[in-house]
A = this chain, B = another copy of it.
Amino acid sequence: MTNSHVVSQMKKPANNDFPILDQLRDRWSPRAFSDRLVDDTVLGALFEAARWAPSCFNVQPWRFIIATSSHEPTYKQALSCLTEWNRNWACNAPLLLFVIAKTTYEDGSHNRHAYYDCGQAMTSLVTQATTLGLFVHQIGGILIEQVRETYNIPSEYDPICGAALGYIGPSSSLSEKLRKKESEPRARLDLSDLAYVGTWGNSALLVRKK
């Protein structure tokens, strides 16, 4: 079996009840990446997508730190900020990034929307990535204080999470345990459990099949 066959098996479209945008349906979080590099024009488009996300008072609290496998010192620096579990597979991705939130407004008061708005920017980035044939695996397991120290991050900014980003690769590159996880179907709560009307728990949607 060639790699291209393996890669084609690794499509995992959402099992959606209503039709949705291809990019939202086809996005998933692989651990197997190819060594194909992400070029600067693609990189520009990813952050451009993040840039135009909405935010509370348009303060745009999102910042990103990136590292590419083509520059070993900064790539190793980024890898060292992941938990060991994540380091073991993320080391195959050509691009690592960290999402950082500015947690204060200009007057120093707390911005309770900062994390939320960073999530908005990151999903714009991920949707753009999917549009360009890339995959992103976001990583909650980062060493927060190590990120802060490594990159000299000011106190009013918080590292939220990391991400591995690149073109998908053959799952044969993974350990058996991760290979199994790679092929697990995507699972979500029922649509009827997500949106309520009138009072908590009162489902707003009559769910129909597409």
Inter-chain contact A199/B44, CB cutoff 8 Å: no
Tell whether, in the assembled complex, residue B205 and residue A77 are in contact, meaning their CB atoms are under 8 Å apart: no
- The answer on a CB contact under 8 Å between B128 and A21 is yes
| A89-123 to B contact mask, C-beta < 8 Å, 1/0 | 00000000101010000000000110111111011
Residues of chain B within 8 A (CB-CB) of A161 are 56, 113, 116
Whether A85 is near chain B, meaning CB under 8 Å from some CB there, is: no
Seen from chain A, the residues whose Cβ lies within 8 Å of a Cβ on chain B are: 14, 16-21, 23-25, 27, 29, 40-41, 43-45, 47-54, 56-58, 60, 62-67, 74, 77, 97, 99, 101, 112-113, 115-120, 122-124, 126-128, 131, 138, 140, 151-154, 160-161, 186-189, 191, 194-200, 204-208
Copies in the complex: 2
Among B57, B66, B200, the residue within 8 A (CB) of A152 is B200
Partner of A131, one of B21, B123, B131: B21
- Chain B residues within 8 Å of A56, by CB: 138, 140, 161
Q: Are A140 and B153 closer than 8 Å at their CB atoms?
A: no
Q: Smallest CB–CB gap between A195 and chain B, Å? A: 4
Q: 4 smallest A-B Cβ distances: which pairs?
A: A119-B119, A116-B119, A123-B123, A115-B115
Q: Tell me how far the C-beta of A4 lies from the nearest C-beta in chain B, rounded to whole angstroms.
A: 26
Name A163's closest neighbour in chain B (CB-CB): B54
Using A16-B52, A51-B188, A57-B140 as known contacts, say yes or no to A67 and B197 having CB atoms under 8 A apart.
yes
Partner of A47, one of B45, B50, B65, B194: B194
Check if B60 sits within 8 Å of A189, measured CB to CB: yes
Closest residue of B by beta carbon distance from A26: B52
| A186: chain B residues within 8 A (beta carbon) | 52
| Given known A64-B195, A154-B200, A194-B64, contact A16–B48 (CB-CB < 8 A) | yes
